[in-house]
Amino acid sequence: MAVEMWEVFGIPLFGGGMCYAVWCAVEGRRARDWPTVPGEITSSRIGYRFGRGGPHYTPTVTYTYSVAGIPYQAERLQFGDPDYSFQSRAKRRLQPYPVGSHIAVRYDADHPHRGVLEPGVGLDIYWVAILTATMFVITVGVALGFWH
C-alpha cells in the first residue's frame, strides 16, 4: 500500500493541532487557580498579516506585573486566543485593555513569567480540538486502510 502525501503531512499536522488545543484547554483551566497580582497595560495593538484565507488580525496587549518584587512582562490574553478575520472584531477584543489601565494578572507560581489576563479558554479552542481530532482519526484510519 502506497502512502499518500496528505497522510504524511496530515497525521503530524492534525495530531499537532489536537495536542495544541488540548494543551490550551488544560493550561487555561489550570490558570483559574493561579495567584493574582495587580498589573498595568503598557501596549495594546492589532497585528496584521495576509495569508491563506485572507487577512488575519491579531489583538495583542503587553502588560507588566511584579511577583515578589521581580518585574515581569507578558502578552497572553487567554490560552488559545484566536486571530480574527475582521479588524472590527480584533478591536472589540482589545476594548477592555486600554494602555495605562490597571488589571488583575494571573501568573503561574512555578514560572512567574507566565502571565494571563483571562483564565480558561474560549469556545474556539474546543472547536479546534474537535476538528483536529476528527481529521486525525480519519487520516490515521485511511493510512491504516480502514477507509478507502
Residue 50 lies in a domain: yes
How far is the C-alpha of 144 from the C-alpha of 34, rounded, in Å?
43
**Max avg pLDDT among 11-15, 69-73, 123-127:** 69-73
Residue 8 lies in a domain: no
What is the three-class DSSP state of 121? Answer: strand
Residue 4 lies in a domain: no
pTM: 0.79
Residue 148 lies in a domain: no
Residue 7 lies in a domain: no
**Domain of 25?**
13-143
Q: CB within 8 A of 5, min separation 6: which ones? A: none
Identify residue 37 by its one-letter amino acid code: V
Residue 111 lies in a domain: yes
User: What digits encode the pLDDT tens for the residues 48-78?
Assistant: 999 878 899 999 999 999 999 999 999 999 9
Report the number of distinct structural domains present in the chain.
Answer: 1
How far is the C-alpha of 66 from the C-alpha of 25, rounded, in Å?
26
User: What digits encode the pLDDT tens for the residues 99-122?
Assistant: 999 999 999 999 999 999 999 888
Identify residue 90 by its one-letter amino acid code: A
Residue 53 lies in a domain: yes
Residue 5 lies in a domain: no
31: nearest Cα among 104, 84, 85: 104
Contact present, 146 and 6 (Cβ < 8 Å): no
